[in-house]
Amino acid sequence: MTASLSTNPLLAPWTSAYGLPPFATTRAEHYEPAVRHAMARHLAELDAIAADPAPADFANTALAFDHAGAQLHHIAMVFLNLVAAESSPGLQEAERTVAPLLAGHEAAVYLHIGVFARIDSLFQRRGELALDPEQLRLLERIHLDFCLAGAQLPQAARQRAAEIASELATLTTQFTQNVLADESSFELELGAADLEGLPASVVSAAREAASQRGKAGHLITLSRSLMTPFLVSSPRRELREKAWKAWVRRGQLNPERNNLAVAQQILVLRRELALLHGQACYADFALRDTMAQSQSAVSALLQRVWVPAVARAQQEREALRQQAATNGEPTDLQPWDWRYLAEQVRQAQFEVDDAAVKPYFSLERMLEAAFDCAHRLFGLEFVEQPGVALYHPDARLFEVRRGPELVGVFISDNYARPSKRGGAWMNEYRYQSRSGGTVLPIVANHNNFAKPAPGQPSLLSLDDVRTLFHEFGHGLHGLLSNVTYERLAGTRVLRDFVELPSQLFEHWALEPEVLTKHARHTATGEPIPQALVEKLLAARRFNQGLETVEYTSAALLDMALHSHADASTLDIEAFEKAELTRLGMPAEIVPRHRPAHFLHLFSGPEYAAGYYVYMWAEVLDADGFEAFVEAGNVFDAQVAERLWRFVYSAGNRREPGDAYRQFRGRDPAIEPMLRKRGLL
């Protein structure tokens, strides 16, 4: 290595505790040279596989491919995690260079003709190789990865596919950074009069948001955990309108970084990629390696939900208008009125006041609840290690143990900050595997809860609690992984299966015995009253018309955009309006994500033409939780053991439909999901 490379901490052995990345010594300028060096090393490893004079076998080809590029994978995972969780101008500048490099390199890997020739020869002879089921699955997945990347295409098409990958990486990086810029820059200042009617928790969070930005007073930002309670509780209609309009126009608040133009370019390139692969549109291309398989299957599910959801939303709308009339307020219901009036209706119908509920849901207690459920289901213990240096003071590290055995490392990063993108997500710094020695997973959960003032507890809404459990379910999927090969580890499953472990774990958040044990008042320590638990459970299906219409409209819009015949002349905003009109979208509701800030679609390919996966997985999770209900115990040991064996620990060892049948004993039924949402 050159002198500069020899002092690059990313390229030196990682000697931090648990093999963590060198957070303290790594700077933004280290990433590009480290990535370039590791890319070259990876390509050399692939060239060696291709040049091996020995006939291709599992060890010298499929296994060697699984091991290749380890250094690059580790560096890339650190980089991609930090640009989302703790960005900076320097990291954003590096991202604009490194993201296209990584995309181009991935294309080069899967278009490596010499390696593919050996993989393909093994694949064609797979029935003769006496492979065990996991070896066979690895070979089949690697072969499919090559085929989906275009390894079987003619040379000119392969070259163009690689160029498109690089161009898309540049555009998706730009899209993500534009959203972060809007989320980081918008501020709605609240004067003393504007604080009237707001719960103490919102006032405290608004004060802390101002403090984080170096200002006095109170600010409402575009953090969901601050925006939503403000829209729920503020009696100032004009302020709700201002906040809501900024919220739904993220990604286009500044004309100089309007994401609609970026999204259009992404759609054009994706369709070109689909055509190279012989598919009519990108949706068809993206669905090839999914449980759904086809647009018709996705449409059938979404339409099954859409019609009753709209009818339910229309009923809710009338109740809100009646509430507005009772208040002596305008009855021309607007989107920024919905949650404010809905909270009043909810309080009247169920006697549940969010401000009175929140003190029972502190972040610390709910994190303990999630840990306790993981212990009762899977035997895990989470032991905090406060002395380990991470990338931000708010991030916390836990050893994850089963008895005396260390099974992984869990990083919990829960608070919103200007350097962190919005939303909630799980990612990994290291995947579990065994084929090159025991490698333990390092998993991180990221939430964007409003940070409380110093010395005050962090109070969560019910939505926040569900989000915490959701991401923790993803975390368990990574931590419990028990596979041999990294390509099959943890969350590296089909995308309409990956949400099953996360959504399934949400069910335990509102289980009465979990609430009774862990939901304790921050001031008194008293457990949540049983009467309040019953009210919360009774209110679970409240406002499901809104929630379901918001989600389903976004999923339908995703499929419509990615099946459009020609995006080069597409006016995305006009298309969105026309599509929602065609669907019969209630005027008072907007999709959960609009195109200019729809990060699921335009920050990368993972959920493009795939936002439907949450509902697909909800069919599985609702039906799956019924297994515990049928057993008469939500912590039933036998059901939990099957859940661990065939879902949480299985990774991608087997086809997901078969994995679910092994757990449940049959195919899933849709009715539990419809009942869960109150749509039957």
Q: Which two tokens stand for residue 592?
A: 């959960």
Catalytic one of 86, 95, 167, 471: 471
**Chain centroid offset of residue 461 CA:** 19
Amino acid residing at 150:
G
* DSSP per residue, 618-659: HHHHHHHHHHHHHHT-TT-HHHHHHHIIIIITTTTSS-HHHH
CB 325 within 8 A of CB 314: no
Q: Which two tokens stand for residue 559?
A: 């499929």
CB 615 within 8 A of CB 551: yes
Give the span between the Cα atoms of 47 and 141, in whole angstroms: 21
Amino acid residing at 369:
A
Q: Which two tokens stand for residue 377?
A: 């289901």
The set of residues, in sequence order, having a beta carbon less than 8 Å from that of 262 and lying 6+ positions away, is 171, 174, 175, 178, 602
Give the span between the Cα atoms of 223 and 208, in whole angstroms: 12
| Residue of 394, 199, 162 lying closest to 276 (CA atoms) | 162
Q: Which two tokens stand for residue 433?
A: 């595997």
**Chain centroid offset of residue 584 CA:** 28
| Residue of 372, 378, 440, 370 lying closest to 409 (CA atoms) | 440
Helix 113-124 with 31-51: angle, nearest 10 deg: 50
Residue corresponding to tokens 């899933």 = 668
Give the span between the Cα atoms of 313 and 543, in whole angstroms: 8
User: Residue 449, SS3?
Assistant: strand
Active-site residue flag, 550: no
Residue 451 phi/psi, 5-degree rounding, is: -80, 130
Amino acid residing at 215:
K
Give the span between the Cα atoms of 301 and 497, in whole angstroms: 15
Using CB atoms within 10 A of its CB, is residue 628 exposed (0-12), middle (13-18) or buried (19+)? buried
| Residue of 417, 450, 413, 422 lying closest to 201 (CA atoms) | 450
Cβ atoms < 10 Å from Cβ of 314: 14
Helix 613-631 with 656-664: angle, nearest 10 deg: 20
Length of the chain: 680
Give the span between the Cα atoms of 507 and 74, in whole angstroms: 33
The set of catalytic residues is: 471
